[in-house]
């Protein structure tokens, strides 16, 4: 923190800059609060406390890690997470797309699960030239157990919300998540002048 600078003054500086871009102070205050909540959530999600607790509860934490659990769930393909796919069959490329990871990483994780007896390769019923991935019975059992654990905990928490709160929260969260898919391209495209000003200030401060 620079001399004479406080957290409040830094937020005020952001608010003034955004105001010059046509974004009101009330919106900036809301954005700062949302960002703080999201950063706290991200740090917790990085620890994956709920997933870790589920694996530990069922004695699975020594067998698979969280990345492998993600792949198991992606192979199973719950519609509430990934939507109703046109193709019922799952390939390594499908796993990579669902988890937004590199295909080579998806392939390695799938191979690890096959080695553990939790997944297997099979021939597509639609195209014999295509190799698909499916869960073994144990793989299915693990996914079912973890999902039941997760929704048991989440359901207990949401039971304390009113129906109106749930109806309000879900569509707003879905709307926010949809925006995050587009946000990476918004800055340079929509705020070219402001981004150029930020870049100029950055260069001058780094050079000074």
Answer yes or no: are the C-beta atoms of 118 and 60 closer than 8 Å: no
pLDDT, tens digit (0-9, with 9 covering 90-100), for 6-30: 556 788 889 999 999 899 999 999 9
Same domain flag for 75 and 113: yes
Domain of 121: which CATH number?
1.10.10.10
In a domain, 185, yes or no: no
pLDDT digits (tens, 9 = 90+) for 138-181: 999 999 999 999 999 999 999 999 999 999 999 999 999 888 87
Domain interval for residue 67: 50-158
Number of domains the chain contains: 2
**Calpha distance 168→131 (Å, rounded):** 43
Structure-block tokens of residue 95: 């796993």
Q: Are 67 and 109 in contact (CB under 8 A)?
A: yes
Q: Which residue has the higher pLDDT, 207 or 18?
A: 18
Report the pLDDT value the prediction gives residue 1, as an integer from 0 to 100: 45
Entry pTM: 0.74
Give the pLDDT mean for 115-122: 97
């Amino acid at each position: 923190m620079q001399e004479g600078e406080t957290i409040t003054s830094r937020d005020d500086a952001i608010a003034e800059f955004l105001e010059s871009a046509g974004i009101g102070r009330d919106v900036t205050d809301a954005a700062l609060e949302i960002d703080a909540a999201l950063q706290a959530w991200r740090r917790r999600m990085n620890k994956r406390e709920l997933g870790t607790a589920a694996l530990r509860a069922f004695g699975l934490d020594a067998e698979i890690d969280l990345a492998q659990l993600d792949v198991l769930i992606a192979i199973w393909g719950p519609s509430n997470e990934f939507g109703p796919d046109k193709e019922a069959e799952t390939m390594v490329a499908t796993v990579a797309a669902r988890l937004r990871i590199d295909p080579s990483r998806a392939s390695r994780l799938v191979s690890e699960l096959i080695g553990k007896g939790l997944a297997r390769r099979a021939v597509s019923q639609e195209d014999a030239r295509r190799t698909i991935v499916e869960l073994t019975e144990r793989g299915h059992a693990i996914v079912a157990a973890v999902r039941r654990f997760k929704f048991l905990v989440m359901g207990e928490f949401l039971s304390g919300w009113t129906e109106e709160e749930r109806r309000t929260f879900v569509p707003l969260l879905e709307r926010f998540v949809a925006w995050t898919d587009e946000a990476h391209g918004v800055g340079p495209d929509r705020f070219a002048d402001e981004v150029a000003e930020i870049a100029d200030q950055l260069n001058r401060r780094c050079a000074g």
